[in-house]
Amino acid sequence: MRRPTIIAGGRRAGPDVIFVCGHVAGRVQAWYHDLSAMTQFDSYQSPLATRNASSQMQAIWSANRKFTTWRRLWLALAEAQKELGLDVTDRQVQQLGDHLDDIDFDKAAQYEKKLRHDVMAHVHTFGDAAPDAKAVIHLGATSQYVGCNTELLQLRDALTLLAGKAASAIDRLARFANEHRNLPTLGFTHYQPAQPTTVGKRAVLWAQDLALALEEVEHRLQSLRFRGVKGTTGTQASFLALFEGMGCSTDEAHDKVENLDRRVTEKMSWPVDRRYVVTGQTYPRVVDGMVLSSLAAFASSAQKMATDIRLLANRKEVEEPFEATQVGSSAMAYKRNPMRCERICGLSRFVISFVELAYTTAAEQWLERTLDDSSTRRLSLPEPFLAIDGVLDLVNNVADGLIVYPKTIAANLAAELPFMATENLMMAAVQAGGDRQQVHEIIREHSQAAAQRVKQDGGHNDLLDRLSTDATFDGIDLDSVLDPSRYVGRAPQQVDAFIKQVVEPIRERYREHLRQAPDLKV
């Protein structure tokens, strides 16, 4: 950075002289002096990279991965063109292959500043490294040959990474669910006490959401296609001209263009039967919306789970992991804030917000393509992937260390269970010889009185005590009627069925991804 001259005076005079008020001139001089010795802490860094995303996901979206893939695409194109008879030599192909990874990023930046075009900047940088091949780099191609195909490869690899992490989270939640399949807990609808379930059944609901989201991502991976070699507006006209120029008949030229598309696709390790048959200049931008919708399914599932855990933590029933030296609050030393689950919720909202942006970008593409998608997509593709990667690492961490407090769960359930057991108690009293209508009225009166005591006086639920002193219920074993396990229905069996029918196939498909410990930065 060129440092301007700072002069007290309160106005600006040209690019190299700044007039400022006298009392701030020294501070401005010091600020510009400091810029000359900037470190990483003197410029903005995305917290997605510094706090959340894994090194694997960051590598997929890194500049090095992007531009070395560009070079591999240029090599694949040159190789295929040579194989099909165009004037590309062995020496040129060899030289391109020798310089796939030694990118001079400083030189590329200088070229881009001069040319205002990132692809041509890297064409020239690659050409400088492989001078004999400079004339055939990018031959017949458009910028989106390298741009779109690279992004599709990145999307494929990033989705694959996320699928493995989701499978691992499902496995962890299933293990937790199996451990607590029989532990009764109070259920909630409308966040009001409802029929009991089990801790394990609730956990498989979280796992099921993730499993459904995983199905979406797997479908997206199966349906993702390669752009291939399509030319400036998707007509492949430039490649057709190249083959006609070497003397091919029209039919032969068409066959060679199709063969070129197939060969490049195959060289980039993409199934040749999964190419877009037609494109404009780019692959269909609606695909971005579909992909990000799949990420949003992960985000929604994770946020639901994290929100539930935050609610249960407030009831002191279930908590996320909390380390021995962890600080919950800078002011309230006693607190155990659910910071992991809160981060899951915050990052998940961030991911979900990108879905609208992706579809809007697709909707606003004019005819064969307009460039206003470029600046947006430099953010809207990598950032939600980095965010959801961090979310799934957090989900795995939380699922692996969930803390359960069975006594508190039992106490909270016991406080509400008498009300829920009244119908069973009524049936028991009728079977013992009571009149159904009279028993109903007796239970109603005692229930209202007990509820009044809880709500107005802050006392415990004494419905069971009231009924035990009422002659209507003489001879009825109230304790057995209030056994919580009698009210959880088939929850334990549903846990078993879910693990067998849903989780086990996922475990089989993702065996190598299971039990990998995420490396959380904070």
- How does DSSP assign 416-458, residue by residue? HHHHHTHHHHHHHHHHTT--HHHHHHHHHHHHHHHHHHHHHH-
Crossing angle (nearest 10°) for helices 250-267 and 237-245:
120
> What is the bridge-based pairing of β-strands 318-319 and 403-404?
antiparallel
CB 351 within 8 A of CB 299: yes
Q: Which amino acid is at 113?
A: K
**Tokens for 26?**
């020294």
Of these residues, 23, 36, 190, 375, which one is catalytic? Answer: 190
190 is an active site residue: yes
For 436-470, b/e burial (b = at least 16 CB within 10 A) is eeebbebbeebbeebeebbeeeeeebebbebbeee
Measured distance CA(84)–CA(80) in Å, rounded: 6
Q: How far is CA 511 from CA 2, 124, 170, 467, in A?
A: 56, 45, 12, 55
Instruction: Provide the β-strand partners of residue 6.
Output: 18
- Segment holding 380, helix H or strand E: helix 372-380
Contact call for residues 265 and 153 (beta carbons, < 8 A): no
> Which one of 55, 223, 249, 329 is the catalytic residue?
329
In DSSP terms, 188 is beta-bridged to: 193
Q: How many CB atoms are closer than 10 A to CB 140? A: 22
HEC readout, 221-278: HHHCCECCCCCCCCCCHHHHHHHHHCCCCHHHHHHHHHHHHHHHHHHCCCCCCCECCC
Q: What gap in Å lies between CA 32 and CA 283, rounded to an integer? A: 45
The Cα–Cα gap between 248 and 205 comes to 62
User: Looking at the annotation, which residues are catalytic?
Assistant: 190, 329
